[in-house]
Amino acid sequence: RGPFPGIIDIYGVGGGLLEYRASLLAGHGFAVMAVAYYDFEDLPKVPNTLEMEYFEEAVCYLLQHPQVKGPDIGLLGLSLGADICLSMASFLKNISATVSINGSAFCANRPIHYKQTTIPALGYDLRRTKTTFSGILDILDVRNDIVGGCENPSMIPIEKAKGPLLFIVGQDDHNWRSDLYAQVASERLQTHGKEKPQIISYPGTGHYIEPPYFPVCLASLHTLVNKAVIWGGEVRAHSKAQIDAWKQILSFFGKHLGDTQNPRL
């Protein structure tokens, strides 16, 4: 009957509203809200800036829902969605557990804005794009260098996050260097007197770590270049990672958001 622990679920570049992961999470005793932030109904076709006030409204809406058990909620994001979740955890209240799936902890291609604070975009150079033997693009090296490491001005101030952070990392991610970024995030937290975050790193695993038994996405259209790009990963290793990562995510939220009424894995 509820109420249930609340989670906001956010996907990355591509836009629209994806609800299948939220639906699967809900089957494990969570009240889950999938949030679209561009290219859906009356939302902008392409956002120029990521406004945290928009996501703050989502947090407030979820916490006011009678089926949601407060006082805090959790966040789950993939890729750009993971960076949005890390920004929400850093700037907003009432967030006690955040999972980043192959996020970067940097402001990627668009500035992040909240009240009087703006985080500048790290930026990229498409001239560093490579072409694989199959003719598909590899964009691993297009992002600008993280000069200054964990103190780069484009890094999200994750040391302000209230609750624990879990980084799920694919070691063969070809969207960006998720394994490096997770280590830089850990360095930033420790530099600011925080504990090391939990980092679970999977060899042979690419960018799109989906729920268990979903087909492995090795390549697809990327809106940044409007062409197919490789995401990395080897089918067997990536598939096994998706099974284990799901268990880790459910365990993390179960621990930090409170026991659910249907805690099966």
Strand partners for 155: 106
- Cis peptide bond N-terminal to 47, omega within 30: no
Phi first, then psi: give them for residue 45, nearest 5 degrees.
-65, -45
Bigger pLDDT: 109 vs 4 = 4
Give, as one character, the DSSP assignment of residue 124.
B
Strand partners for 104: none
Q: Secondary structure of 155-190 in the HEC alphabet? A: ECCHHHCCCCEEEEEECCCCCCCHHHHHHHHHHHHH
Q: Which of 9, 28, 79, 83 is catalytic?
A: 79
Active site residue 178: no
Q: Which of 28, 113, 174, 207 is catalytic?
A: 207
Q: At the topology level of CATH, where does 4-257 sit?
A: Rossmann fold (3.40.50)
Q: Which of 9, 72, 83, 173 is catalytic?
A: 173
Active site residue 256: no
Q: How far is CA 139 from CA 126, 131, 133, 202, in A?
A: 8, 9, 14, 20
Question: 257: part of which helix (H) or strand (E)?
Answer: helix 235-257
- Output the pTM of the full model: 0.95
Active site residue 173: yes
Strand partners for 118: 113
Phi first, then psi: give them for residue 169, nearest 5 degrees.
-130, 130
Whether the predicted pLDDT of 144 surpasses 70: yes
On average, the pLDDT of the chain sits at 94
pLDDT number for residue 260: 55
Q: What is the pLDDT of residues 147-190, one digit of tens each?
A: 999 999 999 999 999 999 999 999 999 999 999 999 999 999 99
Q: What is the pLDDT of residues 191-215, one digit of tens each?
A: 999 999 999 999 999 999 999 999 9
